[in-house]
Structure 1
Amino acid sequence: MRLSFACFLLLFATVSSVNGPYRNFINQHINGGMLENRCDQVIGSRGITVADSNRCKETNTFIRATTNHITRICVSAGEPYGVLTKSLQPFDIVICRLRNQGASRPHCQYRGQSRTRRIAIRCEGGLPVHYGGDIVYFDN
């Protein structure tokens, strides 16, 4: 019985250690209905800043997709890209760039741009945990 409980605790600790970064990834980068003119509102309401500070992020990218579509990149819809995994298909994204450099929350002001790009993410335990960037692709 003790061995089973110990295994359960180990499994729970492993899932919890990935679950935090996965939830953070969802908060910072997934928004299926994101619009170019909503960067200020969405970034503000989600509390997205430079890690461990109140400083506005220079750039934040939102992927217009569901968590299931993004998670599939880690499992079957991606290919190795250095330490990251690159999506096999392009995604609609909104790139929010800071307009007022050096600002701190709640005074972040962004300009949004829509793009269609393949994306590169870092996966842990079959879940996306870090947005590595977008990749310009050429459809032949």
Structure 2
Amino acid sequence: MNCFVSFHDETCLAVGTSKAVIGLQKTLSLLLLSLLTLLGLGLVQPSYGETRYKKFQRQHVDSTEKGGNSSYCKKMMQERGMTKSRCKQFNTFIHEDIGTIKNICKTPKIPCKNGKMNCHEGEVRVTDCRLIAGSRGNCRYQGRGSSRRVVIACKGKLPVHFDK
């Protein structure tokens, strides 16, 4: 049958509709396959329901340790899940209780690196971990402890991103 979708001819309408549905199914299948491929390659990481605040805590807060050295960085980066799919190039752990970090969100707003005006700064004890070698799961870091000024982005009164 060789016709365009017609509202007068139910047969042509049904053929046109079924072709559209098949096309949509193919498109959705390709999108799903692409997402699964990206997940498999580790290029997209699922959040598993983790809020931005919880992710900030996991990646940047360690009030129980003083840190400061390379073995600390290797241990923490692995424990906190930042070496699974690839080695994270740089990360900072803040060695203060979460209340002290939340108080930084009460300081005057300053511009973030991305230009948004939801960043705040404060002085805290930190360990900076810089990747020196390795690959997925076997990452080696150089650690350096200090007290320094940090800039964090906040949403409301909660820290959600380490800016610098």
What's the secondary structure of 2:143's corresponding residue?
strand
SS at match of 2:75: helix
Contact 2:68 2:146 (C-alpha < 8 Å) held by counterparts = no
* Distance in 2 separating the partners of 1:81 and 1:55: 32
| Amino acid across the alignment from 1:115 | S
Considering fraction of residues, name the structure with more strand.
Answer: 1
Give TM-score, length-normalised by structure 2.
0.60
In the alignment, the residues of structure 2 paired with residue 27 and residue 34 of structure 1 have an alpha-carbon distance, to the nearest angstrom, of 16
Listed as ranges, the gaps of 5+ residues in structure 1 are: 1-18, 134-140
Which residue in 2 is equivalent to 1:86? 120
Of 121, 131, 139 in structure 1, the residue corresponding to residue 162 of structure 2 is 131
- Which residue pairs with 2:53 in the alignment? 22
Identity %: 32
Tell me by how many angstroms 1:56 deviates.
0.7
Question: CA-to-partner distance for each residue in 1:64-99, whole Å, 9 max, x for gaps?
Answer: 10111111111x2x2222134232x41111000001
Residue matched to 1:95: 128
SS at match of 1:23: helix
The separation in 2 between residues aligned to 1:73 and 1:116, in whole angstroms, is 15
Residue of structure 1 equivalent to 2:68 = 36
Structure 2: unaligned runs, 5 residues or longer: 1-49
Q: CA RMSD in A?
A: 1.9
The structure with the largest alpha-carbon Rg is: 2
In the alignment, the residues of structure 1 paired with residue 154 and residue 82 of structure 2 have an alpha-carbon distance, to the nearest angstrom, of: 21
Deviates more, 1:92-101 or 1:56-65: 92-101
- 1:71 matched to 2:105? The reply is no
Q: Structure 1: how far apart are the matches of 2:56 and 2:82?
A: 11
- The one-letter amino acid paired with 1:57 is K
Structure 1 Cα separation of the partners of residues 68 and 145 of structure 2: 6
Q: TM-score, normalised by structure 1?
A: 0.70
Choose between structure 1 and 2 for higher RCO, CA contacts under 8 A separated by at least 6 residues: 1
Matches within 5 A, 1:109-128: 109-128=140-159
Q: How many equivalent pairs are there?
A: 108
CA apart distance, 1:126: 1.4
